[in-house]
Structure 1
Amino acid sequence: MQLEKSSQRRAQSREWSGTVPTAVDVRVLGLVVATAGLAASVNIPYGGVPFAIVAFVLLAAGGVGVHLLGERQLRRITDGLVERWVDAGGDVESVTRSSDGMRTEWTVRTPRGDVVVGGVALAPITKLSIEWQGMEDTMDAADAEENLDRLADGLYTEIFEIGSATQRA
């Protein structure tokens, strides 16, 4: 009986493709370009148009790089969490890209409800937030990445084990 449940659980979790979609956010990139343009325009009286163009290119490239690094970090964390949940027997139906304001987010669909994993994807200040059933927790992405096993275990217990106990009650 236990073996059948385990097989069914694995079959259900196979609906997840095994990949977390990329989440390069055009709105964040637009903000980066607008900020670079504003900062570069301030340089026109001091260094002329050529200096402003160089400043714009450097600021825009730096901002895009910072966003891409932050997005990769959040994506690695999301992928690691979902992978650990599936390995532990959690049912993950899908992982889709979602958005809220200027945050980069993924929605992890489970039979017990949606888990939203994401945050602000700007490398030096990347924050991870995890929301489930209206409760949200935020932490530094670097700390989350260092303690990913412990984080995944705690969330698995809360979402898949405690969540199933409260649904049965």
Structure 2
Amino acid sequence: MAISVVFVMIFSSLITSIIRNYIPTRVRIIVQLAIIASLVTLVSEFLKAFNYEMFKVLGAFVGLIITNCIILGRLEAYAMGNKPYDSVLDALGNSVGYAWIILTVAFFRELLGSGSVLGFKVFEFIGLSSFPTNALFVDSIGAFIILGILIWIQRSRNGYIEN
């Protein structure tokens, strides 16, 4: 999933930046969405053709990349006003950051929800075979809980206090 987001974000920024001077202002968001949708379709078809098992697992979620406001926001805020090279670097940085968050949340969901990471039983390995796992973390709500905890930890480290 993270690789898919990186691919879509980089190439949508590149294409948008290349054609930015030819896109009428009134239809720019529609054009950007069409570019994103085309690339997401390409990713989906690629998965279907070359890794069908992954497509069955991620198929519905890959389609949701189209609605990802981070991609559309970067196209609108950066790619529409900058040259292709700069837009690709911006997209690379933002998409790798997004991928890092996805992978971090997935790691903790897997660890706390099933006690394993990529099939490796972590708690058994470190001698905590009786450590209770929590199926809540495997569900969608678990991602939100973990994301909230990660935000809380980051804000605590930075001394951020919201008024």
Establish whether TM, by shorter chain, passes 0.5: no
TM-score tier after normalising by the smaller chain length: 0.3 to 0.5
Q: Considering Cα pairs closer than 8 Å and 6+ residues apart, tell me whether 1 or 2 has the greater RCO.
A: 2
TM-score for both structures, normalised by structure 1: 0.33
Greater helix content:
2
Q: Which one has the largest radius of gyration?
A: 1
User: What's the TM-score, normalizing by structure 2?
Assistant: 0.34
